[in-house]
Amino acid sequence: MAFYQHPSAIVDDGAQIGDGSRIWHFVHVCGAARIGKGVSLGQNVFVGNKVVIGDHCKIQNNVSVYDNVTLEEGVFCGPSMVFTNVYNPRSLIERKSEYRDTLVRKGATLGANCTIVCGVTVGEFAFIGAGAVVNKDVPAYALMVGVPARQVGWMSEHGEQLDVPLQGHGEAICPHSGARYILNGNVLTKLETQ
């Protein structure tokens, strides 16, 4: 099995692309990029050289994944969301040696038009609302909105908001899957089923 590449897409020599991935109209994948299996790159996506994209990620239209960005398995990047890789860019000053690493953990959702400022880690299954600007690390399962982004709740792995306080102690059940989550302080954990 191989990957699908639309005729208008450009995949530079050396790029590693996993089986079952789909590369749509006007995409450009640079030669040192590593892309997993079952990935979808929507129209007008750019993938830099120093980029790793895990299996089953979905990157919607008009997203540029710049150098030093790593997406773990199952990350969703909404339409026109933004990654940066230089914290304080200037056109007249080259700062390619100052790129900051950005890590988006397994299953996280990055909503349409949100911005992920370089140097942060977005936790597993976190949910970044549309238009939010993330400029600090995000806990696993956190629901973040606003400019700058602030936590307003917790989300299940199925993308359902959970009825627990932001901090303290509590328990919630995902209305979609029935999975149980426990809040201890400011850490939410999914209880594994036996």
Residue 69 CA to residue 61 CA, distance in Å, equals 17
Contacting residues for 174 by C-beta, under 8 A, at least 6 apart: 156, 157, 158, 160, 162, 180, 181
* Distance between CA atoms of residues 32 and 5, nearest Å: 17
Report the chain's C-alpha Rg in angstroms. Answer: 17
Structure tokens at 42: 């929507």
Domains of the chain and any CATH numbers: 4-163 (2.160.10.10)
Tens digit of pLDDT for each residue in 34-49?
999 999 999 999 999 9
Tell me: the pLDDT tens digits for 81-129?
999 999 999 999 999 999 999 999 999 999 999 999 999 999 999 999 9
CA distance 34 to 194: 35
